[in-house]
Copies of this chain bind each other. A is one copy, B any other.
Amino acid sequence: MIAVDANGADEGAATVAAGARAAGVEVMIYGPAAEIGDGPDVVDAPDWITNEEEPVRAVRSRPQASVVQAARAVAEGRAQAVVSPGSTGALLAASMLHIKRMRGVHRPAVALLLPVPGKPTLMLDVGANVDVRPEHLVQFAYLGAAFMEAVHGVERPRVGLLNIGEEPTKGTEDHVAAYERLAAGPLEFVGNVEGADLVAGAADVVVTDGFTGNVALKTMEGTAKTVATAIGDAIRSGVISSLGGLLIRRRVGALRRELDPNTTGGAILLGLRGVAVVAHGSSSAEGIANAVRLARRAVDERMIERTAEKLRAAGVLRSAPAASVGDRHG
């Protein structure tokens, strides 16, 4: 069972419900029955937490909010994963409160599959943690590698540390320390990667703090849009024939969609005791269905258990034996 929060999407709750039902897996939809309609797969939950609210406070004070109810369903074993097209902060806060962090994990991270044509690259963190210590970066590496292995079938994912040069001494002291620990561990660590490598498929997993990750992600989106727009303008200005223009315009449009992170099915929260997926707020029904399928796949492939095992084997957990980590979903 996947718990789907129907609130917070640009296209409205009915579109989210339609997408969730089209995913081909068992779902429970938390949203306004007035918009979705009644049904055995609907829990009426009109209240929701917007992007503008302070997430931790909102989640604590409004247990009836749809994202909180959906997260609680996972915590109480009524569902195995939660999907929300609403505020990432609210889903993270609700997940931290109810699903909880994986034992020994410092901080969960928001991971996003970058739309690199033909070379999906997972970047994390992209926003949850603006200040990180080396041990956080190291855990992010294992969280990301476990996800790519379990959910995307990448054997021995290549992990890179986002930095400003290839040499192990580059970056801040924290980067140097993280580099050392990653190089000494059992991961397939390819060393430092740079901004240009993000779109070049140089690594399967790129590790960074949430501040740099967010800036890099938005810079990538903005640049792709600017270049595609400039080329579209050149075409419309009539430098080529109308037939040629039509064809190339279609190709530019397709490429821009290909490079649009909205099409990759959303972000995933890693380091929790359950699966939580953020569907992009502007998702179509198909986008929601993709996010639900991603969540289902993470459950079926035992991502949580495999992540816990990976962290334990590498000796990067915060403290205490990790034997019980993820047991709830075992």
Contacts and interface: CB of A to CB of B under 8 A. Distances in A.
Tell me the number of copies of this protein: 2
A5 to B, nearest CB: 22
B230 A240 contact: no
Contact of A164 (B215, B227, B252, B255): B215
A130 interface: yes
A241 to B, nearest CB: 5
A226 interface: yes
A172 to B, nearest CB: 5
Interface string A121-164: 00000010011000000000000000000000000000000101
A234 B211 contact: no
A208 to B, nearest CB: 8
A226 B240 contact: no
Interface in A224-278: 224-228, 230-231, 234-235, 239-241, 243-245, 247-248, 251-252, 255, 259
Nearest to A240: B244
A248 B225 contact: no
B224 A251 contact: no
A199 B219 CA distance: 8
Interface residues of A, number: 52
A131 B172 contact: yes
A223 interface: yes
A186 interface: no
A243 B198 CA distance: 34
A195 B212 contact: no
Instruction: Tell me what chain A mostly uses at the interface: helix, strand, loop, or mixed.
Output: helix
A220 interface: yes
A39 to B, nearest CB: 37
A116 to B, nearest CB: 8
A315 interface: no
A11 B228 CA distance: 32
Interface centre among A210, A211, A212, A225 (most CB of B within 10 A): A211
A183 interface: no
Nearest to A239: B247
Contact of A211 (B164, B196, B227): B164
Given A131-B172, A225-B196, A231 B251 contact: yes
A171 interface: yes
A60 interface: no
Given A212-B212, A215-B162, A255 B243 contact: no
A240 B250 CA distance: 11
Interface string A212-223: 101111111111
Interface of A: 116-117, 127, 130-131, 162, 164, 171-173, 194-200, 208, 210-212, 214-228, 230-231, 234-235, 239-241, 243-245, 247-248, 251-252, 255, 259
Given A196-B219, A199-B223, 8 more contacts: A117-B226, A131-B172, A131-B173, A196-B222, A200-B222, A223-B223, A231-B255, A240-B244
